[in-house]
Amino acid sequence: MTSTSQPRTYGGWRAARSAGIGPLDGRQTIVVFTAILVPIFIGFIGGIGLTVYLLPVTMVVGVLAIARRDGVLIVDSARAWARWRWAEWRTHTTYTASVFTPVGRPWHLPGVLAATRLLDVDDPGRGRTAVVWNQRTGQMSATLMLSPAGALLADTDDVNRRVAGWGALLAGLADDATIRHAAVTVELVPEPGTQLADHVHERLDPASPTLARAVMGELVATAPRTSAQVRTRLTVTCDPSVGAATSRQVPDAIAELLRTLGGLALSAAGAEIMTRASASDMIRLVHTAYDPASEAVSEGWSDLRWHEAGPIHAREGYEVYRHDGGYSVSWVLQELPRQQVTHDVLLRLLSPGRHRRRVTLAYRTLPREVAARLLEREVNAAATREELARRSRRNATARDRADATRAARAAAEEAAGAGLVQVSLYVTVTCSGRSQLAEACREVEQAAGHSRLRLRRAYGGQAAAFAVGLGCGVYPGDG
């Protein structure tokens, strides 16, 4: 029996904002006030003539503190560009594998993956599990291969229960102090159009009825010529040192991570755990991301070691990341939908296209006490903006009022027992030739627009954004 209830809508996401005047945040407000007050103060000491000379500098500083490009302050964009140019000048944006180096080295993978080490551990009753250990931060990550239940043909009530179950799972992560962050990755790998025909042809029984063979042949002939593998995985990253009276040793830290994985209840969220990623699974996952041509290789992955999972050569550009056999472009989330949306809002972004695509939703879990302080600070910042608007006799904008309402609602929900997570989204598209990049980028940007998301390219951070969805516990901005 199909449910006739109306689908629920979801929303209320908001970006963290500090107190400031009007649309300015706290940092911008301080810079603007400093640019105004410093010349006045200098004028009292050195005379009005000196103040006049400082006016152009004041105007430039004020403009730089306010002006944005693609939603990012020009100052921040300039700083990112300068840092990338400095790294490029020092050849830190180019990676060459150990096979081309005269001597061995301790870091075998490029960029943010350099400090990682793959541990193959045995979890009694569950088989082998791969743990990626970041030796710089001490954090450990493990990946679960998932089989999500489809929602297109599901009852509305079932879908609502699954979404509620996922929300409860995220809220529960905040109760485990060792969990640092989690990431859900959906990888779409295009396949040749002959795969379905080959699959059916290999399984046809010559003794089967003629009508059955004719029906199967007609289905294959009318089926779409393009298909894709859809792979879903969940990566959980733990910081074993959190909440420990003494520093945990590596075996104890691994045991803590495995206990955390065993306690995850994903069935209520509409997903089943197929298996835990083994060492060979992780090596194949990373290697095929850097070298898409190796996707056709089905054997021999267990013979490779972790340092062989990376590319032979990689070069990070300001807008493009070039690696073995491919060119990749990555985007980061700029703004979530402002309006209420249904559960299938990301359907277009998660639908297969002509090029290899990886979509990662990253969640940073916040402990209850941290969440309470953060939300209280957000509510106070919203109240401060309203008070400043009132004193300056300026009417608050509709966006400011809506933002204050969402901040107050989030604080009330947290006080009632809800959890708080910081969420971001990363998208990476990979194609075999540079000439295909324009089409691939247009495909992603159109899909993001249909999903009501605002994305921006990860300028100067293409290598790091590329690594986010590889299941190695990379979370930009996390120490």
Which pLDDT score is estimated for 209? 86
Q: Lowest-pLDDT range, 97-101, 334-338, 403-407, 461-465?
A: 97-101
In tens, the pLDDT along 293-316 reads: 888 777 778 888 888 888 888 999
Taking the CA of residue 201 as centre, how many other CA atoms within 13 Å lie in the half-sphere pointing to its CB?
7
Range of weakest confidence among 31-45, 233-247, 460-474 = 31-45
Residue pLDDT, tens place only, 408-463: 777 777 776 677 788 899 999 999 888 899 999 999 999 999 988 999 999 988 99
- Look at residues 258, 249, 290, 241 and name the one whose alpha carbon lies nearest to residue 143: 258
Q: Which of 400, 411, 410 is nearest to 20 (CA)?
A: 400
Q: Which residue has the tokens 């010529």?
A: 225
21 pLDDT tier (thresholds 50, 70, 90): low
| Per-residue pLDDT at 101 exceeds 90 | no
Residue 288 scores a pLDDT above 50:
yes
Instruction: Calculate mean pLDDT across residues 387-415.
Output: 72
pLDDT cut 70: percent of the chain above it:
82
For residue 79, give the 3-state DSSP assignment: helix
Of the listed ranges 122-136, 155-169, 387-401, the least confidently predicted one is 387-401
Q: Looking at mean pLDDT, say which of 97-106, 121-130, 208-217, 454-463 comes out highest.
A: 454-463
- Tell me, what's the pLDDT at 196? 64
Q: Which pLDDT tens digit goes with each residue over 158-188?
A: 888 888 888 888 878 877 778 888 999 999 9
Asked if residue 454 lies in contact with residue 218, where contact means CB atoms within 8 angstroms, the answer is: no
pLDDT over 60 (residue 2): no
Q: What is the mean pLDDT of the segment spanning 19-46?
A: 69
**Is the pLDDT higher at 257 or at 465?**
465
How many CA atoms, within 13 angstroms, populate the side-chain half-sphere of residue 54? 17
d(CA 164, CA 461): 34
* Winning range, highest mean pLDDT, from 73-82, 248-257, 295-304, 425-434: 425-434
Pick the range with the lowest mean pLDDT from 96-105, 319-328, 383-392. 96-105
d(CA 168, CA 418): 8
- Give the per-residue pLDDT at 168: 82
pLDDT, position 133: 92
| pLDDT for 445 | 92
384-393 average pLDDT score = 69
Q: Output the CA torsion sign for 239, 241, 247, 251.
A: negative
**E strand map for 321-389:** 321-323, 326-335, 356-365
